[in-house]
Amino acid sequence: MLTQICRRRSPAAPQTPPFVLQPPTNQSLPMSIQHDSAAHRFTATQPEGTGELVYELPKTGVIDFVHTFVDEALRGQGVADELARAGLAYARAQHLKARTTCSFMASFAQRHHAEYADVLAA
């Protein structure tokens, strides 16, 4: 894994020891996703914030993912990807065809088309 070593320097202050910044790893992120069927959304809650994937059921047999949002503190940690996976797993389990009006979901579906081709609406 790549790490960056950063040193804080100030002309008037002595040199401080380095600290290590490590990129986030999705595997270490404890993820709990809840589905609120009445509100038509999936949520992921972490101490740093929340993320949500909102959907509509426009007609029988169809789910349309319309909005994804992740608090800034959680961005880049795979939260939106996990919400997308949960939403598409739900669609598959309920035998629904998924539309991706949300631009993030459209991009996710395109990147993972082989895995979700059976669920995605034509």
Instruction: Quick: pLDDT tens for 4-25.
Output: 333 333 344 444 333 333 334 4
Determine the distance from the C-alpha atom of residue 15 to the mean position of all C-alpha atoms in its chain, rounded to a whole number: 39
Q: Does 13 map to a domain?
A: no
Classify residue 6: in a domain, yes or no: no
Residues 103 and 109: beta-carbon distance below 8 Å: no
Classify residue 69: in a domain, yes or no. yes
CB within 8 Å of 11: residues ≥ 6 apart: none
Is position 113 within any domain?
yes
- Average pLDDT taken over every residue of the chain: 82
H helices present in 52-112, as ranges:
79-93, 103-111
pLDDT at 26: 45
In a domain, 63, yes or no: yes
Q: pTM for the whole thing?
A: 0.75
29 in Cβ contact with 78 (< 8 Å): yes
**Bridge partners of residue 45, in order along the sequence:** 50
Q: Is the pLDDT of residue 117 over 90?
A: yes
In this prediction, residue 30 has a pLDDT band, given cuts at 50, 70 and 90, of low
**Above 70 in pLDDT, residue 91?**
yes
Residue 122: the pLDDT is 76
Report which DSSP code applies to 117: T
**What pLDDT is attached to residue 109?**
96
Instruction: Point out which residues pair with 98 in neighbouring strands.
Output: 63, 120
Q: Give the tens place of pLDDT for each residue, 52-72.
A: 999 999 999 999 999 999 999
CATH code where residue 75 lies? 3.40.630.30
DSSP tag of 86: H
What is the domain count for the chain? 1
Contact present, 36 and 72 (Cβ < 8 Å): no
Collapsing DSSP states into helix, strand and coil, what is residue 59?
A: strand
